[in-house]
Amino acid sequence: MASRNTQQVFPKTASDEHLNEHLNAHPSSSSSSTASAEVKGAHMTPDFDSDDLDDGSGDGDSDLDLLMGSMGMGMGTRGGDGQRGSYKMQRWEPVVKKKREKEKPKKGNKNGEDLNLDMDSFEENSQNVYRDETGETGGRRGSLSTIQSYQLYTPDEERTVVRKFDRKLVVFVALLYMLSFLDRSNIGNAKIAGLERDLHLDSNKYEWVVTAFYIAYICFEWMSILWKIIPAHIYITVIVLSWGVIASLQSIATSFAGLLVLRTLLGIGEAGFTGIPFYLSFFFKREELAFRTGIFLSAAPLATSFASSLAWGIVKLGERSPIAPWRLLFLVEGFPSVLVALFAWHHIPDSPNTAPYLTTREKKIARLRLRHEITSTPNSKTQPSSGLKIKEVLLTLRDPKVYLTALMFFFSNMSFSSMPIFLPTILTHMGHSPSTSQALSAPPYLLSFLSVLLTSYLSDKFRTRSPFLLFHALLSSLGYTILTLPPHLLSPTIRYLAIYPACIGFFSVITILITWTLNNQPSSSRQGAGFAIMQIIGQCGPLVGTRLYPDSQAPFYRQGMGVCALVMMVVAILGVGLRCWLVRENRRGWERYERVGGSEEGDGDGDEEEGRGLVSDGKRVVRGRNTPFQYML
């Protein structure tokens, strides 16, 4: 290395001392390595954009730079003409604000090959900026062989991290949603347990009690954006505690006005919790989100089936106690949320890097595995958000696709919200006793729970949303259509069985719609804004849905069933239209991409990443700075 361009200047680190010992012990290998560098220039030529290995830590350094830094090496760069040059060792300088503490040498193996390539060295060097001979920073590219040789983590390690999030985080927020859904929907069970009689509620007053919840719920759906601002462990604890206290206080209501106020406050308390699917996008990849959202949302049908069985037992117990059965129902189903809220403070992480159940290495893997995702994962290691970007929010407000999905969500919620509230009443009017009606309400929702899990799993497996949405929207429409037929054409058994496809369909449609909306926003700010718009418009559906079953339509409520059948058919039609729209947008994006000549300032070559041991099972994927965003179909 006689010339200045081929000199290598190392700062004094433990890794360098091991490297020097290795070179002194093997002089022939060092000379042969130098001699072969020019010969093997094609192999060592960079195939990898260092920007593609950004670890998301927000310090501006790529994982590849950190890898090279831990080895005490620099990589060659492309020349100004865009041609690949031979591999050269280059001078680099760490630029830091404080003088680096002297490192203690670490033991190497017998061959002197321990170059401190673990992920801790990545973090120690995360504040370094590497400069070449000209003093320029950035633009460095690593060879594909280097990435293959020094994997950041293995697929098994990644699976371990994902499973921990599934068991510790997803299941826990699903439990919270189960409690939430239990507290909002038990008004239907309370009605047939004596609520109307004791508080002197007629049909109109009862509808207003139900509607008051959804009015408040809609007005405060904007709180979904607060997931980008308030740390999750604080936010979740406050809202769970609030709805638990309010739901329990319903047990002491003595008038229509008091119950109306409590239902309004309950709607405000639960409105902020709808952003959980957005929160889960902090931790999971795009193609992993549907199943996790499905686990979360499947708590709704499970809660409904559990609520029906629990309500049946509580009502039976209340008949032998001095407390009215409906009051005992509100208290028993509301107070557990208060207890769980205290646990949430310590259990809920703000980001992958603050999960208390992950080791230090697992936290780094959790962050690094999402570095290529269009995700809400923050740059900060401790905060759940880097704040909203107003420009991105305004772009979302002008995107007609957001309003199309919101309209589909509106129609789905008309069916989703009304059936759990009125099903016990419908079954009672079909000739069953109140206790039998409670028991018969459970099986349709239990089957819906299993269907949501299966549907969301398959949707992630095949990486598509629209076919599953179309199938379940039509299935739900079919179930409601059967329920609209004249009574003399249907036996009570057939009418009851028709409830199954209706429930299975709309629960699965809701799950796919929420995930589809999050998947098809190209930034975290647009995810938050798009999700809030969908919730604000979509949650207006229950305002209509809860008024589809007036007492004048009893006992079969054919008009309400017919409206639900129609709107679920409209959801299927809109889903087909949205898929066609997204196909066209994807095609236009690639056409624009090809016109500008590729991902690297018109060089026409997309960067290839070897995913083995990094983010996938060894598949090569094209990554480029200007690669167009692809909508999930």
Reported as a single tens digit per residue, the pLDDT across 44-54 is 333 334 344 34
pLDDT score of 343: 92
pLDDT score of 21: 53
Q: How far apart are CA 304 and CA 375, in angstroms?
A: 32
Mean pLDDT (the chain) is 74
pLDDT score of 24: 54
Range 228-233 average pLDDT:
88
User: Among 180-189, 230-239, 612-621, whose mean pLDDT is lowest?
Assistant: 612-621
Q: Is 104 a residue whose pLDDT tops 80?
A: no
Q: Is 59 a residue whose pLDDT tops 80?
A: no
Give per-residue pLDDT as tens, 435-463.
777 778 888 888 998 999 999 999 999 99
Give per-residue pLDDT as tens, 251-279.
999 899 999 999 999 999 999 898 899 99
Chain-centre distance of CA 112, in angstroms? 44
Those residues with Cβ within 8 angstroms of residue 253's Cβ, 6 or more apart along the chain or in another chain: 199, 259, 262
Range 93-121 average pLDDT:
42
CA dist 518 → 288, 307, 389 (Å): 12, 30, 17
Task: Please report, rounded to a whole number, the percentage of residues in the chain having pLDDT higher than 70.
Answer: 68
Please give the residue that has the higher pLDDT: either 260 or 56: 260
Please give the residue that has the higher pLDDT: either 565 or 614: 565
Peptide bond just before 352 cis, omega within 30 deg: no
Q: Is 114 a residue whose pLDDT tops 80?
A: no
pLDDT score of 145: 33
- Rounded to two decimals, what is the model's pTM? 0.69
Task: Please report, rounded to a whole number, the percentage of residues in the chain having pLDDT higher than 90.
Answer: 33
Residue 385 banded pLDDT, cuts 50, 70, 90: very low
Give per-residue pLDDT as tens, 551-601.
788 778 889 899 999 999 999 999 999 999 999 999 988 888 888 765 444
Instruction: Find out whether 176 and 344 touch, Cβ atoms under 8 Å.
Output: yes
Residue 304 banded pLDDT, cuts 50, 70, 90: confident
Q: Is 182 a residue whose pLDDT tops 90?
A: no
Query: Across the strands, what pairs with 54?
Result: 62
Instruction: Find out whether 607 and 624 touch, Cβ atoms under 8 Å.
Output: yes
pLDDT score of 267: 92
CA dihedral 374, 514, 278, 615 (to 10 degrees): -40
Which domains does the chain show, CATH number per domain?
A: 1-15+56-77+85-96 (no CATH), 156-588 (1.20.1250.20)
pLDDT score of 598: 55
CA dihedral 500, 441, 516, 175 (to 10 degrees): -140
Please give the residue that has the higher pLDDT: either 164 or 431: 164
Instruction: Find out whether 414 and 570 touch, Cβ atoms under 8 Å.
Output: no
Angle at 124 (CA atoms; ends 119, 130), nearest 5 degrees: 105
Please give the residue that has the higher pLDDT: either 252 or 192: 252
Those residues with Cβ within 8 angstroms of residue 423's Cβ, 6 or more apart along the chain or in another chain: 188, 441, 444, 499
Q: Is 199 a residue whose pLDDT tops 80?
A: yes
pLDDT score of 25: 54
Report the candidate in 131, 96, 114 with the shortest Cα–Cα distance to residue 9: 131
| Residue 48, SS3 per DSSP | strand
Please give the residue that has the higher pLDDT: either 34 or 155: 155
pLDDT score of 410: 95
Q: Is 625 a residue whose pLDDT tops 70?
A: no
Please give the residue that has the higher pLDDT: either 333 or 468: 468
Q: How far apart are CA 316 and CA 395, in angstroms?
A: 55
Angle at 486 (CA atoms; ends 481, 488), nearest 5 degrees: 130
User: Among 26-35, 417-426, 518-527, whose mean pLDDT is lowest?
Assistant: 26-35
Report the candidate in 609, 632, 486, 576 with the shortest Cα–Cα distance to residue 145: 609
pLDDT score of 434: 72
Those residues with Cβ within 8 angstroms of residue 26's Cβ, 6 or more apart along the chain or in another chain: none
Range 289-304 average pLDDT:
88
* Residue 308, Cβ density class (10 Å: 0-12 exposed, 13-18 middle, ≥19 buried): buried
Those residues with Cβ within 8 angstroms of residue 594's Cβ, 6 or more apart along the chain or in another chain: none
Instruction: Find out whether 19 and 11 touch, Cβ atoms under 8 Å.
Output: no
pLDDT score of 157: 92
Instruction: Find out whether 482 and 490 touch, Cβ atoms under 8 Å.
Output: yes
CA dist 425 → 1, 171, 285, 500 (Å): 87, 31, 42, 16
pLDDT score of 89: 37
pLDDT score of 211: 84
User: Among 66-75, 161-170, 230-239, whose mean pLDDT is lowest?
Assistant: 66-75
Residue 344 banded pLDDT, cuts 50, 70, 90: very high
Q: How far apart are CA 503 and CA 480, in angstroms?
A: 9
